[in-house]
Amino acid sequence: MSSPASDVPATSAGQRAVVIVAAGTVLALLYVGREVLVPVVLAFFLSLLLAPWVRLYRRLGLGHGLSVLVAVIAFVVIGTGLASMMGSQVVHMARGLPQYEATIRGKVTTLREMTLGRFEIMQGEVGKVINQAEGTLPAAPSAPEHPSASPESPASEAGSVHRPTTPMEVMTRVLSTAWIPLQTAGIVLVVLVFVLLEQESLRDRFIRLAGGSDLRATTAAINDAGARLSRFFLSTFSVNFGVGVAIWLGLTVIGVPNAPLWGCLTAVLRFVPYVGVWMVAALVALFAAAVTPGWSLLVMTLVLYFVVELVVSQLVEPFLYGHTTGLSPLAVVVSAIFWSWLWGPVGLVMSTPLTLCLVVAGRHVEGLNLLNVLLGDAPALTMPQRFYQRALSGDAHEILAEARSFLKRKTFAAYGDSVLLPAMQLGRIDLMRGAISREQQNVLRDAVVKVVETLGHDRSRWSLRRMRPTVLDDASIGRRLRQMRVDVAGRWQGSLAVAPGTLVLCVGLGSVVDDLATEMLTRVLRDLHIDARHLAPDDFAAFDAEPHPEATPDAVSLAYVVSADATAERADCEAMSATLRQRMPGVRIVALLLPEPLVTTDAVVPLGADFDAVTRSLEEAAQQAIALFPADGAGLTPH
C-alpha cells in the first residue's frame, strides 16, 4: 500500500496528462470544426462592431428589431459595394496586364544583366584562368542532334479541352466557384442577425453558465472583454479605414493604376499585425514597377507606404488608443502564426481579437491565469521582484537601466520605498528560510552596493575609487555603503564643528534591512543639502570613548530611528529613543517604521512617549526634515 506522500507525484502527473489531453482535444475540435466555427466566430466579432450602431438607432427611437435590421442592411450594402468595386478593379487590372508585358520583360532583362549577367561574366573569366592554369582548352561543343520533329504535336494528340459554351454551363461553373464564399457569407449574416437580436439574453446565459453565484466577478470579466474588444474593433477599423483612404488618394496622385483596389487591400490586410501592410506594399510596388519603364513610380510607392505607416503607428494610434490591446508584441506575432495555421486567412485576420479573448479569460478565471501571464502585456514580475532576481544574478547594469527610467518620473526616495527596500524584504524572507546561499548573499550585496553607489548623490566622490577587500566584506549592505562615505569624510562622516541645530542623525537598529534603509535615508537627506549622519547603536559608546573638543553643543536638531520590523524590534526602538532623549533632550525624535515582510497593511505599533512623530516611508521622512529646515538654506552645511 502506497503512502500519501508517494501518491502526490502520480496525482500531479495525472493532472498534467489530463491537461495535455484536454488541450489536444480542444485543438482538434477547433481544426475539425473550422467550417462551422469560423463563420460563427466571425459573426460574433462583427456583432461587436455593429452593436454601437444598433444602440444609436435605438436611442433615435427605432425598435430593437428594426435597429438590427437597419444596421445589418447597411453593413451588407457597404460590403457588397466594396466587393463589387474590388472585383471590377481586379477585372480591369487583368485586362491591362498584356500591355505591361513589354515593360516587365525589359525590367527582368535589366535585373538579370545587373545580377546574374555579371555573375556569369565573372564565372567565365574565372573559368578561363583555371583552364590556362591547367594547360587545357575547353572542347568545342558538338552540334546537338535534333530528332526529326513529329508531324503531329502532342497537343493535337491529347485532344482539345472542353470549355463551356452554353449560358447554362457558364452559369453552373460560376455558381460552383462562388458557392462556398456565398455559403459562408450567408451563415455569417444569419448568425449575426440573431446575435444582435439576442445580445442581452446571450449575456445573461453566459453569466449563468460562467458564474451565476458570483455575479460581480463574471460581470467584471464580461465588461472587461466587451470594452477591450469594442475598443479594439472600433479604433482599429477606423484607423485602417483612414489608412486605406490615404493610400487610395496617394496612389492616385502619383499615378498608380487601380488605386481603389490597393487602398481596400491595405485596409483589410492591416488587420494582420506588423506584416500585413508591408505585404500589400510589396505587391503594389511590383505592380508599379510593371506600369512604367522607369523606377521612380516604385520608389514613390514605397515612400508613400513608409510615410503613411510611420505617421499612423507613431502619432495617430498612440493618440487614439495608445496600443492598449493588452497583448505583448510576441503574443501578437505567435497568435497570428497559430490562428492562420488553424483557420487559414480568416484566422490570420481574427488572430488578435481571438487572443485578446483568451487573455481576458486568463485575467478573470484563476485556472486560465497561465494565458494572461504568457500572452498579456502586464509585467510578469513586479519591480521589487525584478530587482531581487537581477541582484541575485549579479546583473547590476539592467537594474541601473530600470532605475534610471524610474528616476525620470519619481524621486530617489520613492525608488527606495517602492523598489529597493521591498526587494530587500524579499531577500530577508529567503534568508530567514535558509533559501539563499552564502555565495548568493555576496552576489546580492555587491549588486545592491553598486546600484546605490551609482545612483546616490555622493557617487562622484568615490565611484572611481577601487573597492579593495576589507574586513567589511562580510558587513551588511548599509554599513558597506556608509564605510565609503567614512573613507572620504572621516569617522563621523563630516566635521563636528558645525552650526547649532544643523545635524540630522539617522540611527538603524542593526538588521540588514535597517542598515540599508538608514543609509538610503541618509543619502536622500544629503541630496536635499541636509547634513545627515548614519549611525549604528554601538557608535554612541565609541563617540563617548574619544575626546571631541571641537564638537558643537546642540548640533543635532532631528534624529530618526529606523526599523524594518517594528513588531519584533519594538523594545529596541523604545530603548534607542530613550537613549537619544537622555543624551539630547531638545532633539525631535521621529520613528521611521517601514512595511514589514508578508504584511499587506501597516501594523499599528504603539511606541513610547519619547517619539515625537512616526513616518512610514523615506519620502514622508524627507518631508519631515524639509519642514524643519528653513527654505533659504540657513544653517545647512554643504557636502
Q: Kindly list the averaged pLDDT for each block of 10 residues, start to end, along the chain of length 639.
A: 43 69 84 85 83 85 87 88 80 73 70 62 63 55 48 46 58 67 82 84 72 65 67 78 90 87 86 80 85 82 89 76 64 83 82 80 71 76 86 86 87 87 84 82 85 66 40 64 86 87 88 87 89 89 85 88 83 88 88 71 61 87 83 42
* CA separation for the pair 592, 613 (Å, rounded): 9
What distances in angstroms separate CA 355 from CA 22, 224, 233, 267, 334, one per listed residue? Answer: 19, 14, 13, 21, 10
For residue 473, being part of any structural domain is answered with yes
CB 363 within 8 A of CB 383: no
CB 383 within 8 A of CB 418: yes
* CA separation for the pair 518, 113 (Å, rounded): 75
Q: Is 380 exposed, middle or buried (0-12, 13-18, 19+ CB in 10 A)?
A: exposed
Instruction: Give the CA count within 13 Å in the CB-facing half-sphere of 148.
Output: 2
- Which residue range(s) make up the domain with 591? 385-628
For residue 500, being part of any structural domain is answered with yes
* CA separation for the pair 578, 12 (Å, rounded): 56
For residue 482, being part of any structural domain is answered with yes
3-state secondary structure string across 35-52: HHHHHHHHHHHHHHHHHH
Name the nearest CA neighbour of 453 among 520, 353, 536.
Answer: 520
Phi-psi category of residue 301: left, alpha or beta, with phi > 0 → left and psi -120 to 50 → alpha: alpha
For residue 549, being part of any structural domain is answered with yes
* CA separation for the pair 460, 438 (Å, rounded): 31
For residue 337, being part of any structural domain is answered with no
Long-range contacts of residues 234-240, Cβ cutoff 8 Å, at least 24 apart: 234/49, 234/52, 235/317, 235/320, 235/321, 236/271, 237/49, 238/320, 239/270, 239/312, 239/316, 239/317, 239/320, 240/266, 240/267, 240/268, 240/270, 240/271
State which of 143, 162, 197 marks the end of a domain. Answer: 197
Which pLDDT score is estimated for 506? Answer: 92
The CA-based diameter of the chain, rounded to the nearest angstrom, is 126
Q: What is the identity of the amino acid at 474?
A: D
Tally the residues of the chain: 639
* CA separation for the pair 308, 140 (Å, rounded): 58
State which of 197, 226, 246 marks the end of a domain. Answer: 197
CB 326 within 8 A of CB 376: yes
What distances in angstroms separate CA 532 from CA 373, 479, 537, 559, 627, one per listed residue? Answer: 44, 15, 16, 9, 15
Q: Is 607 exposed, middle or buried (0-12, 13-18, 19+ CB in 10 A)?
A: middle
For residue 260, being part of any structural domain is answered with no
Instruction: Give the CA count within 13 Å in the CB-facing half-sphere of 602.
Output: 9
Q: Are strands 613-615 and 556-563 parallel, antiparallel or unpaired?
A: unpaired
Total domain count for the chain? 2
Q: How many CB atoms lie within 10 A of CB 174?
A: 11
For residue 435, being part of any structural domain is answered with yes
Name the nearest CA neighbour of 533 among 458, 482, 571, 568.
Answer: 482
For residue 292, being part of any structural domain is answered with no
CB 52 within 8 A of CB 230: yes
State which of 143, 164, 197 marks the end of a domain. Answer: 197
CB 228 within 8 A of CB 356: yes
